[in-house]
A = this chain, B = another copy of it.
Amino acid sequence: MIKVAIIGYGNLGRGVERAIKQNEDMELVGVYTRRTPESVQTEGAKAFTMDQLTLKKGDIDVCILCGGSATDLPTQTPEWTHLFNTIDSFDTHAKIPEHFTKVDQVAKENQTTSIISTGWDPGLFSLNRLYAQSILPVGETNTFWGKGVSQGHSDALRRIEGVIDAVQYTIPNSEVIKKLKAGEQLTLTTRDKHFRECFVVLEVGAEEEKIREEIISMPNYFADYDTEVHFISQSELDQEHKAMPHGGTVLHTGITHKNTKQVIEYNLDLQSNPEFTASVLVAYARACVRLAKEKQFGAYTVLDIPPKYLSPRTDEELRKELL
Contact = CB atoms under 8 A, between A and B. Distances in A.
Contacts of A18: 256-257
Given A301-B319, A323-B93, A269 B263 contact: yes
B257 A272 contact: yes
Chain A contact residues, majority secondary structure: helix
Contacts of A193: none
A288 to B, nearest CB: 13
Contacts of A315: 303-304
Contacts of A22: 137-138, 256
A279 B19 contact: no
A23 B122 contact: no
A305 interface: yes
A256 B19 CA distance: 7
> How many identical subunits does the complex contain?
2
A137 B276 CA distance: 12
Interface string A291-323: 000000000011111111011100110111011
B256 A262 contact: no
Given A130-B310, A263-B267, A310-B135, A272 B256 contact: yes
B134 A311 contact: yes
A211 interface: no
B311 A122 contact: no
B304 A305 contact: no
A138 B286 CA distance: 17
Interface centre among A131, A280, A301, A319 (most CB of B within 10 A): A319
B318 A307 contact: no
A136 interface: yes
A283 interface: yes
Which 8 pairs, one residue from A and one from B, show the smallest C-beta to C-beta distance? A134-B310, A256-B275, A263-B269, A122-B323, A265-B267, A18-B257, A303-B308, A134-B283
8 contacts: A97-B320, A129-B322, A261-B271, A301-B319, A303-B306, A303-B318, A303-B319, A305-B306
Interface of A: 15, 18-19, 22-23, 93, 96-97, 100, 117, 122, 124, 126-127, 129-131, 133-138, 181, 247, 254, 256-257, 260-272, 275-276, 278-280, 283, 286, 301-308, 310-312, 315-316, 318-320, 322-323
